[in-house]
Chain A
Amino acid sequence: MTGAAPAGPGPTPPAPPDVRSARRRLVMDGLGIIATASGFGLVYGLAARAAGFSPLEASAMSVLVFAGAAQFAAVGYVLGGFSWIGVIALTAFINARHLLYAAALAPYLADRPRPLRALLAHFLTDEAFALSTAHFRRLGRADVPGYWYAALVTTFIPWNVATLVGVIVGGSIPEPERLGLDIIFPAAMAGLAVGLVTGRRELVAALVGAVVAVAVSLGWDPAAGILAGGLIGPLVGLAVPGRPSAARHAGDIGVEAP
């Protein structure tokens, strides 16, 4: 046996890292997010352009909604002729998961001024949550500049710049179908859905949602089909026995942007 045993009754918990080293790690972790947000934002811009969005409209979505899955879904809703009420309701449903992220961050930020918290909230995404919650945990407290790095530098800015580039470039491509760009939207939807499947319940909800949506679309209308699938799929998923799925969403920072 070699080495000295630690003094005292048990191992001493590691000291939290200083702010500088924690921020250094945050910056390094964020580099991959910048690349993903840029690439995915570009794809969103292309898809939005293919659906007839103007650059201003596509950018408005990225600034005001700033939620990748909901923005991609909105492209589909617009193509499918959804009513605005339906689009807004489904957007609220898709983005309801942010409630869980905000709840997890709330204890860290409780002592910050209310206007600041109100501002921070708009920039809360899957990526901002994943990066900042890990950063806060490492520090053992909130670090607002770290949050801004996670929310603005790694996601908001790349996402919006790439959206603008995508929608402008997309408008200059004469036959996007020849490049397979028309497949980007459904492939993105399927990929995002797969990324959210973390257990049997999610799998069943997704499969039932798809089947119900297609059936109702063929029998009635695609817009109604998507709505029916999105509402009935989760109900059937809830009926599946088994443990609740792990909350993997917090670590799935490479799948959904922002």
Chain B
Amino acid sequence: MSTELVLLALFMGLATYPARAIPLLVPGVERLPPRAIAYLRLVAPAVLAALAAVNVMVVLDADRTPSFHVGVEWLAVAVCGGLVAARRSLFAGLIVAAALVAILRAAEIAPLP
């Protein structure tokens, strides 16, 4: 069983802990400039959107050369995002997205990756 990523998990935990602990342990330290707080609030949606977009729009060939990809994955991701916006339920969005892709692939409307 691979254990290499356990160390990465430890470092990720160490990188997360200060944000959780410092304001509790040293009250007042959290008073960052408003501009910095506003920037930090925007990082998560930007990183998550970047991850989603790259995952469905960019594919790598055997030489790791990137190319643009268009496929049913776009539709599934859009449906999931729409359900989250409308119903506030990520879990429902994920179920519908996976089911949509599975059905379209089973019907051979969309190819397997």
Contact = CB atoms under 8 A, between A and B. Distances in A.
Interface of A: 36, 39-40, 43, 52-57, 60-61, 63-67, 69-70, 73-74, 76, 78, 80, 84, 87-103, 105-107, 109-110, 114, 117-118, 120-122, 124, 177-197, 201-202, 205-214, 217-218, 221-222, 225-226, 228-235, 237-238, 244-245, 252, 254-256
B35 A180 contact: no
A182 B102 CA distance: 10
A191 B50 contact: no
Contacts of B44: 69, 93-94, 97, 192-193, 196
A206 B46 contact: yes
B62 interface: no
Contacts of A238: 35, 38-39, 42
Contacts of A120: 24
Given A206-B45, A209-B45, A233-B49, A92 B94 contact: no
B80 A208 contact: no
B52 to A, nearest CB: 4
A50 to B, nearest CB: 11
Nearest to B48: A193
B109 interface: no
Interface string B1-43: 1111110111111011101111111010010100101111111
Contacts of B3: 54, 56-57
Given A56-B2, A102-B20, 14 more contacts: A57-B4, A64-B9, A70-B12, A70-B16, A73-B47, A76-B54, A95-B16, A188-B94, A209-B53, A210-B53, A211-B53, A212-B50, A217-B58, A222-B66
Given A88-B11, A181-B98, A217-B66, A195 B88 contact: yes
Nearest to A233: B46
25 contacts: A53-B5, A70-B16, A93-B43, A102-B30, A106-B24, A121-B17, A180-B98, A180-B105, A183-B101, A187-B77, A188-B80, A190-B48, A190-B84, A191-B94, A193-B52, A193-B81, A196-B48, A205-B42, A205-B45, A209-B53, A210-B53, A217-B66, A225-B50, A233-B47, A255-B84
